[in-house]
Amino acid sequence: MRDFVVFSVSVLFLLGLGGLVFKKNLLKKTMAFSVAQSSVVLFFVVLGYRHGSRPPLFTFASEGDLMALPSAQVMATATLILSVAVTAVLLALIVLLHRHYDTVDGEEIRRLL
């Protein structure tokens, strides 16, 4: 099961990377980056998952309960926050570029430089 998950996550990551390489539209590049970062977040979530487990919150626990690994979830959350920050700055830069060049096509912008 875990091998399948790693395979799926890798495929999602490569799809995102493919989008980054082959798309000219800066917005689509940013979306591709989001896809790639989602795969990493998903990977962390899967690493912390245990079948039949409860969320790792103290108030949910009763004796003998199995809980998901909290450290992996912390890492997933931190990755999510950082990736959102990167995406936000990328979008802000796209807005600046659109104001300058009236387009979000990367190749067009480089031609106009």
Partner 1 sequence: MDWQTHLPALIVAFPFLGAVVTPLVSLAGRGARHLWFLLSSCGTTVLALLLWRRVALKGAILYVVGGESWDLALPAGLSLPPRIVLAVDALGALIVVVGALLAFAGTLAYLPSDRGTPEEERSFVVLYLLAMSSALAMVVTSDLFNFALFFGLFSLASTSIVTFGKKKGAAVIAAFDALLFSGVLLLLILFAVALLYGRYNTVNMAALARLLRFGFVEKTVLVLFAAALLARYGALPFTSLFTEFLGEASPAAGCILISGTLVGFYALVRVVFSLYGTILGEGALGWVFVVSGLLSISFGLTFGFRSRRFPLFPGFILLAQTGHVLLGLGVALRSSCHVRAMADYGMVALKGALSLAVVSSLACALLFLATAFIRRWTSSEDLVDVGGLAKVLPKTAVSFFLASWVVAGLPPFIGYVPKLLLHQSLFAFNPLLGAVSIAASIGAAVLLARFFHGLFLGPLRVESLSQKEASLSAVLAMGGLLCLLLFLSFLPSWSLTRWIEPSVSVLLDQAGYVKIVLGGGL
Interface residues toward partner 1, by CB under 8 A:
2, 6, 13, 17, 20, 26, 29-30, 33, 36-37, 40, 43-44, 47, 71-72, 75, 78-79, 82-83, 85-86, 89-90, 93-94, 96-97, 100-101, 106, 109-110, 112-113
φ/ψ (deg, to 5) at 33: -60, -40
User: Closest separation between CB of residue 52 and partner 1, Å?
Assistant: 19
Q: What angle do CA 78, 43, 32 make, to 5 degrees?
A: 80
Q: Cα separations (Å) of 10 from 3, 22, 64, 81, 82?
A: 10, 18, 34, 21, 20
Question: Which of 57, 112 has the CB closer to partner 1?
Answer: 112
Question: Which of 51, 62 has the CB closer to partner 1?
Answer: 51
108 in Cβ contact with 101 (< 8 Å): yes
Question: Which of 67, 72 has the CB closer to partner 1?
Answer: 72
User: Closest separation between CB of residue 86 and partner 1, Å?
Assistant: 5
Burial class (CB in 10 A: 0-12, 13-18, 19+), 101: middle
User: Closest separation between CB of residue 69 and partner 1, Å?
Assistant: 9
